[in-house]
Amino acid sequence: MKRGDLLLVSGILIVSLLFMVPRWIQSGESSEKNHNSQKTAVIKMEGKLYRTVTLTKEEQTIEIRTQRGYNLLKVHDYGIEMVDADCPDEICLTFGFRSRQGDTIVCLPHRVIVEIGGPSGEGGETDAVI
């Protein structure tokens, strides 16, 4: 590579970084805004509303006991996760920690669905950009 080639490549890299800096700043502000807006988890059993919980940083547990079985949900760090269940397959425990709007946790044997929502008019985050 000649000196001119290095200057050309360096110039292209600098210009592309200048276009990326506003995106980094904007994404930092949007994540901060997402924590400040009140997200909720809607818990439904057999298709009917069981409880609506505000997702907060403080830890709280929600115990669900029905004739079908037992589920334990844990709210913390502005998200929710299923930490214990007595269903035979325990697939609901594999969903892990959920915090984005539109995320769900499902326990089919106990017919429990947890869906995360946000304030009306707020869209979900982008999954991917191609």
Which pTM does this prediction carry? 0.64
Output the six-digit token pair for 129.
């950009």
Write down the pLDDT at residue 124. 54
- Extract the tokens encoding 43: 């818990």
Could you tell me if 68 and 110 are in contact, meaning their C-beta atoms sit under 8 angstroms apart?
yes
Residue with tokens 């069981």: 50
CA dist 39 to 3, 8, 54, 85, 100, Å?
54, 47, 6, 24, 9
pLDDT digits (tens, 9 = 90+) for 9-46: 999 998 888 877 776 676 655 555 555 468 899 999 99
Kindly report, residue by residue over 99-109, the tens digit of the pLDDT.
999 999 999 99
